[in-house]
Amino acid sequence: MNIVSIGIRVAAALVLSATLVSATENRPVDWDDLINQSAQTFEDPFRDLSYDQIFDVRTVFQKRQELENPSLTDDARTEAETALNETLARLAEAEIDADWLISQRWIVAERRQKAATAANPLLDGKTVTLAGFAIQAPPEDDGTRIVYLVPERGMCSHMPPPNANQMVRAVVEGDWSPKTLHEPVRLTGKLSIEETQQSFHIVDGSVQMNASYVLDVTQVETIEDMRKSQQANDWATSHAERLRASGKLYGPKQGVSE
């Protein structure tokens, strides 16, 4: 084998090595990165309406349904017609076409649903690191631990669940599980776009957990882990601040108190 052939093979090996490193490289991501931004721009005629105007459009729909009831009394019919006419006049004065808006309601609902679930295709199959708050879920049939990662403390318990593209179903191969509800944590693993639905009890009752992503976890980092390994960073500091503000006993610098 001549020098040129050896050089070509070495160069090819280096390119292949670089490609493999790039393919498996750990990529820190933020929650905004999970959203497919191309699905967020769409026509929504309800977006610029005030709360009172949306209420008026709803009133038009409800009063028309009410007037279709053949058993409605004369007095009730007169009252419904008066309310309907007054509401239509108010909307017309604001140049709002109630009939057209009513015809658009399911179209807009579908667009909003798509925007809320659309995942970022650039992250599909990538190894990522994402920080958030972990919620323990029932294990799978084979005992595999499942947690849901959400961007804000309190979501799914005292606050509504986030959009599906802001929730990650994390499959944890190991012994770790959250010590508390909404434990701050940083997870690393392979991220896949996969829509899942699961209902289970959280604090006040059953909650429907809709997630656009599944994360196969290979590494778990808690604030305490980073404190012990002296890997303090902006993420750990900010989460410690949040927990301390909520009344938890967290130290001002080191993370978790003893």
pLDDT of residue 27: 83
258 residues of the chain, pLDDT tens digit each? 444 333 333 333 333 233 333 344 678 999 999 999 999 988 999 999 999 999 999 999 999 999 999 999 999 999 999 999 999 999 999 999 999 999 999 999 999 999 999 999 999 999 999 999 999 999 998 889 999 999 998 888 878 899 999 999 999 988 898 998 999 999 999 999 999 999 999 887 889 999 999 999 999 998 887 776 555 556 556 655 655 555 544 444 433 333
Q: Using CA atoms, how far apart are residues 90 and 64, in angstroms rounded to an integer? A: 16
Please state, in angstroms and rounded to a whole number, the distance separating the CA atoms of residues 57 and 98. 6
Dihedral (CA of 177, 183, 184, 189) sign: positive
**Residue 146: helix, strand or coil by DSSP?**
strand
